[in-house]
Amino acid sequence: MRCTPVSATEALSVCAWLWAAVASAGDLAYVTNQSGNDLSVLDLAAGQEIRRLDVPGAPAGVAAAPALGAVFTVSPESATVRRFRMRDGALEAEAVFDGGPMGIAVDADRGRVIVGDWYNARLLVLDAEDLTLRAELPTGAAPAGVVLSPDGRWLASADRDGDRVSVFDAATLAFRHAISTGAHPFGLAFAPDGRLFSADVEADGLTVMDPEEGTVLGHVVTGARPYGIAFAVGRGFVTNQYADSVTVFDAASLEGITTLEVGEYPEGVAATSDGGLVVVTNWFSNTVTLVDPEALEVIGEIATGDGPRAFGAFIAPASPDGGG
C-alpha cells in the first residue's frame, strides 16, 4: 500500500494512520535545515513536526544521543558545535572552532563527541558535556562523514579529497588504517555485522571495508552521487542526490534489489530504532520521505524547515514526556 500526500494537511488527515503502523512508537527525527538555520523535530508516528529550534550558521551535521539526553549539531558556516537537551530543546552548550566542522558522531559511553574538520584534515574530540577540546586526530584531506561502530570499537572518517577512509581505535584514539575508496567518499555507515561502508559520491557506488583488517571487501553500485547510507531488515539504503532516489541492496550479498523514487536531492537517511521505518531527508523538497523497508514502498512524507540535510545519526526514541 502506498500513500503519497500532496500537502502537509492531507498527510496528517489521510496518511498518518498508515505510517504510524510501521514507525517505531515515539521515535523522533532531528533534522538540520541548512537554509532555514534551524532544526526540525519530527514525531514519526504522528507524521508531524512538533518543535523547531534555532540553529544559526547553516547547520548540516547532526547526532542524536539518547543515552545523554542530547542532540548535537554542527554549523559549518559559523564553525559552531552545539548541544541541545532532547527533552525541551534547551541549548546546553556551544563552542566555536577554527576550521570547517561538518560530520559528527557521539561516543556516549566515553563521554565524547567527534567532529570532522573539513579545512584542517583532522577530527576534533570534544567533551560531550561542555564541548571543550580533548584531542585532535589527523586524517586525510577534507573529512566529511564521521561514524562510531555499534560495538564502540572503531571510529572512522570519510576523507573526501583524499579518496580514503581513516580508521581509529575508538578507545585509545590510535590511528589504525587508511583504506582507499572510490572517488570522494562522503557518508559513512557501519552495517550491523561490523562492516564499514562509504558512499563515494564521484564513483556512483559504495566501498565495503573491514575496519579491523583495513581491507576492501567489495563494492555496491548506486545511482548518481550517493550520499547517505542506512541499514534495516538486512538491506542497505543509499540516497542518490542527483537521481532523486534511494538504492536498495542486499546487505549480505551486496546485490541490488530495487530503486525507490523519493524527494528532490535526498541526503540524510536513517532507520528507526526497531528497523521498521527508513527516513530520507530531501534537501530541495523541504520534506522527509518515509519508506517501509520490508515492503520497499514509500508510505508518506513530512514537511520540514528549509533545506533539510540531517547528515548523521538523526533518529532517536522519544522519552515518555515527549522529548528525546
pLDDT above 80 for 69: yes
Residue 324 confidence (pLDDT): 64
End-to-end CA distance of the chain: 30
Total-model pTM: 0.92
What nine digits make up the cell of 284? 530541495
User: Would you say residue 101 lies in a domain?
Assistant: yes
In a domain, 322, yes or no: no
Q: What is the mean pLDDT of residues 1-25?
A: 43
Give the number of other CB atoms < 10 A from CB of residue 10: 13
**Is the residue at 323 inside a domain?**
no
Q: Which domain holds residue 162?
A: 8-317
Angle, vertex CA 149, rays to CA 309 and CA 178, nearest 5:
90
Nearest alpha-carbon partner for 125 in 90, 173, 161: 173
Where residue 19 falls among pLDDT bands split at 50, 70, 90?
Answer: very low
Q: pLDDT tens across 121-154, in order? A: 999 999 999 999 999 999 999 999 999 999 999 9
| CATH number of the structural domain spanning residue 242 | 2.130.10.10
In a domain, 142, yes or no: yes
**pLDDT at res. 318:** 85
pLDDT digits (tens, 9 = 90+) for 28-52: 999 999 999 999 999 999 999 999 9
Share of the chain above pLDDT 70, in %: 91
CA 89 to chain centroid, in Å, comes to 19
- Is residue 167 within 8 A of residue 185, CB to CB? The reply is no
Q: What percent of the chain has pLDDT over 90?
A: 90
User: Cell numbers 524527494 label which residue?
Assistant: 263
Mean pLDDT of the chain: 93
Q: How would residue 321 be classed by pLDDT, with cut points 50, 70 and 90?
A: low
Does residue 3 belong to any structural domain of this protein? no
pLDDT confidence band for 14 (50 / 70 / 90): very low
Q: Is the pLDDT score of 179 beyond 80?
A: yes
What is the CA angle 131-137-141, rounded to 5?
Answer: 110
What pLDDT is recorded for position 168? 98
Burial category of 173 from C-beta neighbours within 10 Å (exposed 0-12, middle 13-18, buried 19 and up):
middle
Tell me the pLDDT tens digit for each residue of 261-277.
999 999 999 999 999 99
Does residue 184 surpass a pLDDT of 90? yes
Structural domain count of the chain: 1
Q: What is the pLDDT of residues 101-111, one digit of tens each?
A: 999 999 999 99
In the prediction, which pLDDT does 319 show? 72
Tell me what pLDDT residue 260 has: 98
CB distance 181 to 165 below 8 Å: yes
Report the pLDDT value the prediction gives residue 2, as an integer from 0 to 100.
38
Please give the average per-residue pLDDT across 231-252, as a whole number.
Answer: 98
Residue 43 resides in a domain? yes
Which residues have C-beta within 8 Å of that of residue 9, sequence separation ≥ 6? none
